Amino acid sequence: MEDDSLLAILLDETREKMAKVVTHAKEELAGVRTSRPSPSLLERIEVDYYGSTVPLRQIAGFNVPEARLLVVTPFDKGSIGAIEKAILASDLGITPNSDGHVIRLNFPSLTEERRKELVKVVKHMAEENRVAIRNVRRSARHEIEAMEKKGEISADELERSEKDLEKLTHEYVAMVDAVLSNKESELLEV
């Protein structure tokens, strides 16, 4: 019975690690710019705010009043210059427009060529996340095989655990594929 609980704990830990990879994939793909602005594009931007580096979301609010416009409203009007500098230094490729109170980010439509380029980028990101899931599987498989070598589990339990592990891997890879599919359709939408 103890062996079964060891396997159950190992599978639960593996499930948690794979879920973290899927969460990472969602966050990473959300940061890729589409023709529609999203506050998640600004999540990764760090601002030099009075000598310390802080995430933009901690010093400003965001809203999307129009289809191609993202408005950044700083909580402290004195931070507008630092926010503009951080947005310019980011990989967004957008020039901020400020009126002293808010910063407007106007998102032009993506060209067909740029859309296809971005689809390649997100496919690559998704593949990296699939590989991460497979690495989690490999690590768990090594632990299960080590348990079997030590005599902690039987050959039947090893086989059953490997099947469970494979099923889990397919489940989480499918989740990454679903995230990718959503992002692709978002990118190709005109």
Residues of the chain whose pLDDT is less than 70?
A: 1-4, 33-36, 190
pLDDT for residue 1: 40
Domains present along the chain, CATH in parentheses: 2-31+111-188 (1.10.132.20), 39-106 (3.30.1360.40)
pLDDT for residue 168: 95
Residues near 110 by beta carbon (within 8 Å), at least 6 away in sequence? 33, 34, 35, 118, 187
DSSP string, 159-173: HHHHHHHHHHHHHHH
The pTM of the whole model exceeds 0.85: no
pLDDT for residue 132: 95
